[in-house]
Each structure stands twice: as structure tokens, then as C-alpha cells.
Structure 1
Amino acid sequence: MARRLTPEQERITRTLDRPLFVAAGAGSGKSSTLAERVAWALTPGSGEGGAPYLDSLDEVLVITFTHAAADEIKEKIRARLREGGMAGHALEVDSAWISTIHGMCSRILRRHALALGLDPGFKVAGEGVSAGLVERAVDEVCGIVQDDPAYAELRRSFELRGRAGIDGAATVFGMLRTLRDAAGSALEGFDSVEFPGTAPDVFGELSLYLDCVQRALALGQEAKAFSSKAGEAERTNLQNSLEVVGRLLSLPPSQRDAAHAAEAFGRIRKPGDAYRSKKMRELGAQIKAAYADCALAVQMAGAMRFRTQLVQLAREVDRRYAGLKAGLGVLDNDDLLSLTLRAFREHPEVAAEYGRRFRLVMVDEFQDTNAQQVRMIELLSGPGACHLCTVGDAQQSIYRFRAADVQVFRDRQASLPPSSVVELKNNFRSHDDVLRFVAHVLGRGQEGGGGLLPRFMDLVAWEGRASGFAARGLPRVSVELVCSRRQGRAQVSSQDRARVMADRVAERLASYIDAGQRPSDVALLLGRMSRLGSYLEALRSRGIECVVSGGSTFSQSEEVRLVSALLHLLANPRDTQDGLYPVLTSQMFCLSADDLLLLATRDQEEVDALTKRGIDAGLVSFDLPAGLEPSPALRSARELVVRAFRRLGSWPVRDVLAAMLRESGLVARLE
């Protein structure tokens, strides 16, 4: 059964014999188009001489970013094949090469495990487990830095962990973790990783900061934000930043060195909070973020002289991490990629086998890949990657924290001729009013036609989409702005603001319902459940009955109660009722009554008999009655709690909590 396709979808479906680059906007039907492409390739007439282009689904490789996306496209391909009368091929879907890139690598490695020196039954660690092992390895190496005189200068220049905790890139801990992560996704590992903190990095961040300062000075003058004493001080600070950074950026390239920038940046004071208007507060937040980025770039530039030491330490982190994984008998996702790429290099016959096998290679969410992944996929896509079709949207690139590089997406587009580039701009989900609103905010919302997203892809609503909008005469998109002002000397309370906002929203919803929209088609999303009462009162006073879904029982869930108990424990180790006891008996440790009894018992000094004590004292001292050994669970719980208290001096509480949850194995068990 033929389906109606747009001209662009038709072009993608029928182009099988050369590379393709597809820029597909949200809701443009890209998954359905990929399914159509597979179905067409198996249809008589798609190949030479009236034959199908493909003999079977075994010649198709589809890479998706998530397991859910892989399952979705499998079902679409299966359904399309059945519709087209190809039930035999539909039976091949479950065994087809349609998976995440890690799933593909795992499948290849298991098939060739013996030749590659691997255990065919290897296990893959979840992200929670691997993150905990990395933190443990970095923590151990930081212990070396702390004790070894060879790193005295490094310790004087950078905090070991510092207030920034495990997420602080400008601490030794953060730099080591960043370097190890970068090496894990680099083509040549540590040999090809780019060390951050070069002069172009610093001056690039300074240029962005200068732009923010210039806009703040202009807007602040217009909004009279500098009329107060605090505002005048902030204006002076920004003017000083403008002069210092302006002089730096006016230097010729040959004189732009990181040391000079660091010295000048030290003369700039951190931006303050002297703004009252909403626009200025938003811009103030941008200035602070830009200042923080500059500070980080300057700090990292200062680390350049320690590059050799830091890379050596990062290699040691990687070695220890590998040892921890070997102890558990697991690989992680980076191992799957690096081992597969190494297998292709060291065993070219393996890469050649798959390069000959796959005649249709498609990669979905291509914007979330990195150079290492792309190189591997190219090796599977025939000579010159002639069978490769990549599909993605740069506007949806959200996985840079996982080493995804949107520049890879853009480089791929630039490398192909225009005849191999297709844009899917038809949106099948949303009405044109919604798309115009999005385009105004993201594409043309700033002066000069800029917008929040560079190179914004403006989508066009599909004319054949059925409309479920019943409130005729009212706009489909409505923006309600609520402002609060001082009443004399008193500031409007947050409760009053919430009540006014709830009334305005309820009034607007009531107008849509009165105009014909069904109440069951209305969903109200709240940022904070603490204001729920105000919204319920406002809605019900207008006769709009509603059901609360989610949020109301969040604090009663077992996991949240555990985190609450952990906070009590870290705040006061002697709080056994709300802290220690609930933690030790929770799913985190699952200690038995015997374990707790052991903690609550000690030998007497004067008499040869046992006496009781608090379990907090038993856990801290761990001097257990003679002849009694702690269980492995009790010993592990004690080590983890003691380690958490040691970290409290330099880590933020949230990072200590996260580490406890990961290192206890709870996150892995929940996954």
C-alpha cells in the first residue's frame, strides 16, 4: 500500500545509492520516513533490473540514540512491511541490526569475542555504576596528589576538590575527570585529547563577556537601573570591565597570551545583584554566567603548565578505573566503542565484513554523536561511507555532557554536495500558530533577526493536520504577563503574587472553556507544587473541576524519604531516630537486626560482660565485642558513611549525597 509522502520524504525514500544528509525538524516524520526507506529498499523495482535493492533486512543497519527510539523504529518498520505485503521480511525485524550504537558494538564484540581476546559473556555496567567507579578512581588519585611532594606546586595553584565539589572543572578533581572523559570519546584516546585553557579559549570567553556587559550598560541606562547607590557601584564595576576587557581584545593576535589575560581579569570584580527590573535581572544572570565562564577559562589556562602532570594523573585515573571494572568483570559504554574501533583497526577483515554486509546504513539523532562514533559508523558504511544516511537536528543537540559534538553534524553537512542534503521542514504535530510563536521566540526574537538559537530551522505546519482546537474566536497561543510592584514601602508577598497569577490563569482557562474547549482537553503544568492550593481554589471557584496528577505524593516516596534521612545523618551523626537508623535499615544497606545489635553492644572495661550503647557510637568507633565479626554489609555501610563525613569538608552536600547513593549500589539496583 503506497503512502502519501511530501516531495522531500519521497526523495529520501527513493535515494538508496548515494550518501544522504537529512536535517529533520521536530515533528517532521523522520522515523516514519526511515521506515519507508527500508520498505522501499526491499520492494521489487528499487534495485537494478526490477529487483529489490536489498535481499533482506540483514543488510540494513539503523543506529538510534536510545533503546526506546530503537524499539519505536522497529515497530514502524514492521508495520510498514506488513502493510506492503512483505510479511516474511517483517519476521526479520527482531533480529535486525536496529539498536543504539552501544548495542551494535556489544553485538559485534560478542560475535568476535574469542578472536579479540574477550569473554563472550562480558557484562556492561550501567551509567550509575560506572560513574561511581570513576569518582572512586579520581578520589584515589587525588589522595596521591595530596600526599606526594612532587605535586606541591599543583596543590598551591588549584584546590584539590574545593567548594565546587565533584562538578568543579577548575579543581584537580574536576580537571582529572574532564580529561579522562574527553580521552574516552577521542579518536586516539589521551594522545588526541585537546587540553582546555588555550589563549583562544580565554579570549573567546572574554569576548562573550564583553558583549553581555555592553548590553547591560545600555539597557541599565535606559531602565534607570543605576539610579540607586548599589546600582551606581555596579555601573562603575561594569564600566571598569568594559575598559579592561576592551583593551585586551584590542591587542593584536600575536600579543594575546593567556597569562596577560589572567593578570587583567584579576582587576575585574565579580558582577553583583543590583538590578530590580525583570529584564535587568535576566541580563544580570547572563553576565554572571559569562563571568564564571571567563574565570574558568583563565583558571584552566593557568593549568597549562601542569599539562604533563595532569595528563599523567588522568592516565592513572583511567588505569585504576580499568582495574575497578576488571574486579567486577564489566565493561562500560566507552569500552564498547573503543574496543570495537580497535578491533576494526587491528583486524581489518572484521571491519571489511560489515562494510560489505550493510548496504543501507542510517543514523538517527546524528547531532548527538561524536567523532569516535562517526568514524566507526563510516567504517561500516562501504567505501567512502557511500551507504550512509544521517538524520538529525542541530536545534535538538542536548547531550554535550555525554561528549556529543554538534560540530560533527555540521561538518558532515558541509562535506556533502547540495544534491545529497535534504531538509524536512513540514511539521505534522503542531498548528501554524504554535510554530509562529516558537519561531518568534527562538528564531527572530532578538534585534537584527537573531533569536535564541543560531541557524534556526523554521518549520511549516502540515496543511492536512486535523485541528482539535474548539475555542473559536480565541487565539491558539496566549501569553499572560503578571508583574508585581511595591505597595508603598511594602513588597508584595510571594503568596499574593501566586494568588494573582492563579486567578489570571484560571480566568484565561475559563474563557477557553466557555468558548467551547472541553475541560478534559486542558492540562495545567506547575513549576512548583507548593502553589497548588492557590490554583485549585482559583479553578474550582470558577466551576472548573480538576484532578491533580503527580507531585502531591512525591515527598512520601521511599527514595525521597531515604534522601531526607541521609540529610539528617550528615547534619547530625547522633540523630539515630530520623537519620542513622532509617539509613542503615533502608534499601540502601538493608542491615539486619543482628547488625544493629552488634553496633549497639560493647565490652565493659571493668567487668567481663557486655553492655549497650548507641548505634551511632558503634558505627564511629567500630570497636565491636571480642570474637564477633561484622557482616560484609555492615562493614561496607560503615566505610561509606565514614567516607561521606570526610568529604563534607570540601564537597557540597548534594555531591556527597549523590556519591553515597552511587557507591552503595542503590542507583544501579534501581536501574
Structure 2
Amino acid sequence: MNLNREDERISEALKSSEERILEGLNEQQREAVLHGEGPLLIIAGAGTGKTLVTTHRIAHLIASKRARPEEILALTFTEKAAAEMEERVDLLVPYGYMEVWISTFHAFGDRILKEEALELGLSSDLQVLTEPEQIIFFREHLFEFPLSYYRPLGNPTRYIEAMVNLFNRAKDEDVGPDEYLAWARTLEATAGEDPELKAYASRQVEIALCYQKYQELLAKNGRIDFGDQVSYVLKLFREHPEVLKKYRQRFRYILVDEFQDTNYSQFQLVKLLAGPDGNITVVGDDDQSIYKFRGAAISNILGFMEQYPRAKQIVLTRNYRSHQVLLDTAYRLIRYNNPERLEIKNNIDKRLIARKDGGTPVKLLYYDTLSSEADGVAKLINEKVKAGTHTYRDFAILVRSNNDADSFLRSLNMRGIPWRFTGNQGLYDREEIRLLMAFLRVIADFQDSVSLYYLASSEIYRFNPIDLVRCMNVANGKNKSLYDTFINLEDTPELERISPSSRETISRVLADIERYVTSSVKKPTGELLYDFIMDTGYLQNLTSHPSRENEEKVRNIARFFEVVRNVGKLIDPDRVPRFVSYLDMLVEAGDNPPVAEADEDTDAVNVLTVHKAKGLEFKVVFMVGLVSGRFP
């Protein structure tokens, strides 16, 4: 009896949930959400409710009992997008029904590999390498690779980065080492007596053999890279049909968000899971494809109907974000990509229709130099805020790359305008992170005078600048380190004029160095660094004086501790000297993680790269640096 009541309660909850799921949807969105069996292509223009349709379709499949939650797989591209999707679905379905697999492609692959590691002969405790870590791994094993042409005597590491990039791109294109080698051998066999072709074929064979060796070394050392998280799963499904069958039965419905950003391998994975006539829903827009530089294959969305001829196609054109003037301007511009657009290929109408009234035309502003452009943008923002019509957070400045932001940040600073920059890197350039890195470098090497100078002059020790410069000058003049100069302070006549407070600071610095060096012998890097920011009161000082700047510093310190933890998994033993050496190699390889995400409620101008801005909304947007051949 109780069970029957519980079943009735669940049934009523699902029925109520389904009504809420369809509430407020327009005709196009409703059609996409209610689609039944078989492949579905949803072409969702900017601001048409792409995420809403995806999440409501997932919720509808559950509420209508077409699928149990655990039978649904939803794939997207960022952890943030996956978390947002999961949260939205959770609000739409009854409590206890949130068992949908919602994740990024790489997280999905990682989960499958951990579950099926034995089938591939891999460890279930695999460490995933970032691209800079791949470069370091290659360098550490350099002389284990069958290199000749690509290891020149004068600069044996010259081609490492290019080699790693090629391996990554091969995996994006679903080209494994054996396939690459077979192609290279064929090329070699057909080269004949042509010296140029023979030399080219020989180099390709060398690359292919290195690709094989690279994969072998990764497996041997319990490492994989991001490409492996997809390529190994493809290998698993192709070589073990019983495993593929298991996952096909598990995931009866598959949804892919931002489909225009998938690479070739990712689409192959989805097709394998879905089968020839599977229940696959892909959501995307070819006009929003901006990730070709990292391997995205726009051919996936352009050719979806050829792969699935019986697929249903739904176009979302009602825009809820912008006014018609702006949409028409964007439409005129994007049509320059014809005929290589879905609108032409699939004979559909993608012109967006605004639901908002009003709007002003797009303004084109000319400037003769970059600095005058940056000053002009800062001036316009300042005028509008002073007029009381806008707040700083209303504005966004979109740049092509991280480096392009510098001029605009300087101009904002000159006018005292608060800003927050969201790019793809920059953590190691932050003042608070440089301080932590300086501390670790001093503990690893007393003779690093530059790091000791930075540490002593920091807000932790507040060394008198004049006295510190005197000490540094004496050290340079005698060809000694700053540390040795501190140690021999009393025996250095040139430093007799150093103030008593500076002498106390030197004593404190030296005592701390000795204490932390002693601790560093037994403690891992993260633990020692934590002791430093706690013992010196640095972290407490930041948290006890709340401000936008201090909050950013705390978030970035937390982000740096993530770096410390991840590196600690890759080095043995995890001690400061080894960590600093590895970190230096990371920096040399181009590693510089993004800073922590800023608080969205902070009243500050948003400066961000175009790629970071995707999907966000702002009242006033400046697209800067529109110089022919650079942006777009």
C-alpha cells in the first residue's frame, strides 16, 4: 500500500514537472524539446535559448518516462557549462532524479577509462598532462625517442613543442600512431628516386616512430594527455564490441551542446555510442564556430545531415538577447561566409528575429593609434558612468588575445576606472603569485638574489626600499648574492648606514629562511607554502581587510595551490627544489594558467577575450583592435 502511494506521488511529481518543462517555450523550442526518437539537429542562433532547450529536453525525457536519468548522456565543452546544465535540469525534475551523465568530453572519457582501464592495459590511476606538461615529459625522455633530423645537435629541444602539437592534432583528427606510421611507410615506399620526396618521407617516418614511442612512454609512466581521453575510448569501443554494446545500452539518449566546436574524434565517439540510427541530439550554430585553432571541425555540423539523412532539423530564430538593429548588422556581416554556411547548404532561414524593441545602430569609431583607441574607449566609459546612465559593470571590452588587453587596462588605470580581466592566462603574472613563487625560489636557492629582493620588499617584510637597494648594490659590486650580503651585514662597512629597523627586517628574513629550509626537507611543497602564508599572517591580512583587490588575491592564491597540488602528483619526491625546477620548465614551455574568475557582482569594467565572452551578455560592448588581418 505504501509502495503504491509512493508510486502515485512520484507519478504526480513527474506530471507536474512535465507541465513546468513546457511552460514558456516558443513553438520552435517546444518542437525541439518534444522530439521523439531518432537523430535531431537543433540549429540555435545566438540568444535563442540553446541551453534552455537542451536542459528542458533532458528533463522532458525523464518526466515523460522515455528514459531513466542514468540512460541520458549530455556532453559539453567546459566544466562551467556542464555545472550550469546540471543545475538547470536539477530544478526541472523531481528530487532524486538527477543521475544524468552531464560532463565535458574529456571528463566523460576520463570516467570511461577509469572504469575500463583493464581492457586497455592501463592503470586506473592515470595522471592527465596539460600541454606544457607534455612538453616537459617529452624533454625528460628526449634521448629515448628515435630522433635524428628533429634533434639537431646545436639545439636538441628545438622541435619538441611542434612535435607535441602535431601529436595532439593527430588525436583530434582520429589518427593513431600505427595509422600515422602506415601512411609514412607508404609514402616512403612510393617516394622513388625523388630526393625531396624521399627526405620528406624519411622525416614523416621519424615523426610516426616518435609518436609511437610517446604513447608507449605515457602508458609506461601512468600518464595520458587530453587527446588520449577521447582516442583511448575510441580504441576501447572499436576493439571491444562488448564494451561498446554495454555503453550503447546504458546511454539510450545522447545530447551534445556547442556541436560546432567538436573535433573529428569527438564526433566519431558520439557516432559510435549512438549507432547508425541512435537517439542523438546535437545543438549548435556554424556561425558561432570560433575554435578552429584548437581543432574544432566545423564539418561536423555542416555534414550532420549527410551522416544522418533521416535526422530532423529544427532552427531556433527567436532571439531574446539583442535588438533587431544589432541582429541585422551581424547577419549582413556573417553572410560574407557564404556559401560555406548551413543556411545555404541546408536551404534554411537563419535570420534572427528580436523579441526586444528599440536599439541603436552599431557605431564605428576610428583612431589613428592603439593608444588613442584605448584612451578613447576609457574616456567614453568614464563619461557614461559620470552621467549616471551606466555602471562600470555594464561595459565589456573584447580583445583578440590576452596581450591585446594591456593598452586598454593601462588607459582604464589612468582614469581610475575599476576593471576585471578574464583571459586564458596570467596567473603567474599576478603580484600575489609572484610573491609565493619568490618565496619558493629562495627556499630552493639562496643565491637567487632577484627572488630574495622581491620577497624582502613585499608587504610581508616591508623592507625599507632605500636600504634594500643599498644592500643589492653592494652585493652586485662584490659579485655576491643578496643572501650572503645579509649574512655578512656586520662585516660590511658600506652598509653601516642601514637603519635599525632594516637590520631587524634582515634578521627576520634570515630566521624565516632558515626555519622554512629546515622544514622543506620533510614537508611537501603545498604544506610548506601553506605554513608560510599562515605563519607570516599574509593570508589573514588579506581576509581581514575585505576589498575587491584582496578578494581577487585570495582566489588567485587558491588557484595557485591547485597548480602546486597537480605538480606534486607528477614529481617524486614533492619537495621545493624539485617543484621549483618543474615550475620553471612549465613557464618555459608556455604555461601560465588563467587567473581565478572574478566576482560577477563587482562594479568593474569587463575586459575579456572574444573566446571567453562567448555566451555572455553586456549592455555596452566595445570590440577593439579591429585591424585587417588580425581581428577578425
Q: TM-score range by the shorter chain?
A: 0.5 to 0.7
Match of 1:289 in 2: none
Match of 1:429 in 2: 321
CA separation of 1:386 and 1:582: change in aligned 2, threshold 3 A: same
- Measure the CA separation in 2 of the matches of 1:560 and 1:302: 49
Matches within 5 A, 1:133-148: 133-136=136-139, 139-140=142-143, 144-145=147-148
Match of 1:92 in 2: 97
Residue 27 of structure 1: which of 35, 40, 47 is its match?
A: 47
Query: 1:187 Cα shift?
Result: 3.4
Match of 2:543 in 1: none
Deviations 1:70-97 (A, max 9, x none): 111111212122xxxxx1xx4231x322
Q: Does residue 550 of structure 1 match 2:420?
A: yes
Query: 1:307 Cα shift?
Result: 2.5
Matches within 5 A, 1:29-68: 29-44=49-64, 52-54=65-67, 56-68=68-80
CA separation of 1:502 and 1:583: change in aligned 2, threshold 3 A: closer
Match of 1:316 in 2: 210
Q: Does residue 559 of structure 1 match 2:433?
A: yes
Q: Does residue 481 of structure 1 match 2:366?
A: yes
Match of 1:577 in 2: 449
8 Å CA contact 2:129, 2:224 repeated in 1: no
CA separation of 1:306 and 1:60: change in aligned 2, threshold 3 A: same
Match of 1:277 in 2: none
TM-score by length of 2: 0.57
Matches within 5 A, 1:433-472: 433-443=325-335, 458-463=350-355, 465=356
Residue 389 of structure 2: which of 517, 533, 555 is its match?
A: 517
Match of 2:220 in 1: 326
CA separation of 1:481 and 1:379: change in aligned 2, threshold 3 A: same
8 Å CA contact 1:132, 1:659 repeated in 2: no
8 Å CA contact 1:108, 1:340 repeated in 2: yes
Matches within 5 A, 1:238-637: 305-320=199-214, 322-324=216-218, 326-327=220-221, 329-382=222-275, 384-417=276-309, 420-443=312-335, 458-463=350-355, 465=356, 475=360, 477-483=362-368, 503=379, 509=384, 517-519=389-391, 522-523=394-395, 525=397, 528=405, 547-550=417-420, 557-559=431-433, 576-578=448-450, 614=481, 633=575, 636=578
Indicate the SS of the match to 1:28. Answer: coil
Query: 1:9 Cα shift?
Result: 1.7
Of 15-24 and 100-109, deviating more is 100-109
CA separation of 1:482 and 1:182: change in aligned 2, threshold 3 A: closer
8 Å CA contact 2:260, 2:296 repeated in 1: yes
Query: 1:372 Cα shift?
Result: 2.5
- Measure the CA separation in 2 of the matches of 1:114 and 1:637: 32
CA separation of 1:584 and 1:449: change in aligned 2, threshold 3 A: farther
Query: 1:12 Cα shift?
Result: 1.5
Query: 1:390 Cα shift?
Result: 1.4
For structure 2, the residue ranges without an aligned partner over 5 or more in a row are 1-19, 185-190, 399-403, 459-478, 485-519, 522-572, 598-632
Q: Percent identity?
A: 24
Query: 1:432 Cα shift?
Result: 1.6
Q: Does residue 658 of structure 1 match 2:587?
A: yes
How many residue pairs were aligned? Answer: 450
CA separation of 1:133 and 1:413: change in aligned 2, threshold 3 A: farther
Deviations 1:619-641 (A, max 9, x none): xxxxxxxxxxx977576479769
- Measure the CA separation in 2 of the matches of 1:346 and 1:143: 28
CA separation of 1:533 and 1:29: change in aligned 2, threshold 3 A: closer
TM-score by length of 1: 0.54
Deviations 1:20-63 (A, max 9, x none): 1222222221221122222322344xxxxxxx322x11221111
CA separation of 1:336 and 1:355: change in aligned 2, threshold 3 A: same
Aligned letter for 2:323?
H
Deviations 1:163-199 (A, max 9, x none): xx96xxxxx54653344223323435134449999xx
Indicate the SS of the match to 1:481. Answer: coil
Deviations 1:498-519 (A, max 9, x none): 6566556656x37xx86x8344
- Measure the CA separation in 2 of the matches of 1:550 and 1:391: 31
Tell me how large the CA RMSD over aligned residues is: 5.2
